[in-house]
Structure 1
């Protein structure tokens, strides 16, 4: 594992940071229980998938389904991204780390998604028009990452969002797209080969016929450290 980390540092030392992440031990429809691991172990597992049997790193992440008056927000990830480089995905998206840990070891999923929202779009929590709502859990079997899908809404227009995005000093996305609700299905089909697996699974779930307002009824409550 140390050899993998040292090799990666030589390849991209200016981009690599050994942060901490929340790894899932077990979960159900309402609660996730896990522990804090180091990013270097997850990276080693990605480079050598056979290491998963020993390391058992299953990162927890968040994906926001952000709606504004003009539609739903998508972003194309930078080609330098470790995860899904060059792919489109729902915005905001990102991993849950130790900064989300609160009292008694309870992890705030809401804090994580709001942090990602501001970092990736420039939109603050005060600009949201409704409380965030967790609606789904989606696991990527290849990366072992489990995302909590969270509904978000803002009154900011597409033009305002683009201006905020353009003003960011550091961008995780090369471009943004705001897709009208009626066109989300067509957007999904047109990018079948360039849409991230988690975002694709969330869209397929939320667009299922028969789900009230297109949303799941099960509500995820939170994550707790072992």
Structure 2
């Protein structure tokens, strides 16, 4: 089913959101572990650059508090690729996504057709899993979003972030997006030039749309971005 037509669960977040961490559950079932290994080996054959880092998964989500744990990325990948494993793992991985607003309007990126997750759909930029980028277990959401912005758009300065405004949970993968607004005075031409020069291949197209032009595109736009558009529209 087209994800834009699915019922993703939306939670409005408090400005005083706290994120806390607890130990990950033990995976002791040998069949479950072998299933995870099998998915990882098969996916790596097609995507050899995949890295099995640590990602954050949510145990409990409230408007003012998120608690969760760090686990291996391959656990989350196995859940995305195998409904049988998903039913046993029941992970809710955490991601950050932004709605980048420049003087000309709203910047949207089209997910690369080769993406493992939701290829071909348009979304606010950037977007990515909450990853442990250092040895610390601390979850720093603004740093995570800025790192994704640099990697995916080539933009690392001249931006202002809001606190996370909302959480949107995918009703099949159970990935939870935290949505932020990102504002810049840079022109879209400058943003696009930086994307073309420095960014990775997360998006195969980057476009800017005035607010009044966005409504006809909503069937192609992912639900978290639609929720941010509705929340932030002038």
2:158 alignment counterpart: 127
* RMSD over equivalenced CA pairs, Å: 2.0
Report the CA distance between 1:48 and its aligned residue. Answer: 1.4
| Per-residue deviation, residues 2-30 of structure 1 (Å, max 9, x unmatched) | 122212222332x3221211000111001
| Per-residue deviation, residues 96-139 of structure 1 (Å, max 9, x unmatched) | 0112785xx44111111111111111111x311x3423111100
1:196 alignment counterpart: 222
2:184 alignment partner, one of 141, 148, 154 = 154
2:139 alignment counterpart: 107
* Cα pair 1:70 1:158 within 8 Å, conserved: yes
1:62 aligned onto 2:96: yes
CA distance in 2, matches of 1:132, 1:100: 24
Report the CA distance between 1:46 and its aligned residue. Answer: 1.4
1:78 aligned onto 2:78: no
CA distance in 2, matches of 1:3, 1:122: 35
Question: TM-score, normalising length from structure 1?
Answer: 0.81
Question: TM-score, normalising length from structure 2?
Answer: 0.78
1:118 alignment partner, one of 138, 150, 170 = 150
* Cα pair 1:67 1:154 within 8 Å, conserved: yes
- 4+ long deviations beyond 4 Å: none
Q: How many residues align?
A: 199
1:138 alignment counterpart: 168
| Per-residue deviation, residues 73-99 of structure 1 (Å, max 9, x unmatched) | 100111111111111111111110112
Report the CA distance between 1:201 and its aligned residue. Answer: 4.1
> Aligned with 2:119: secondary structure?
coil
* Cα pair 2:109 2:203 within 8 Å, conserved: yes
Structure 2: give runs of 5+ residues left out of the alignment: 1-34
Distance 1:100 1:109, change over 3 A: farther
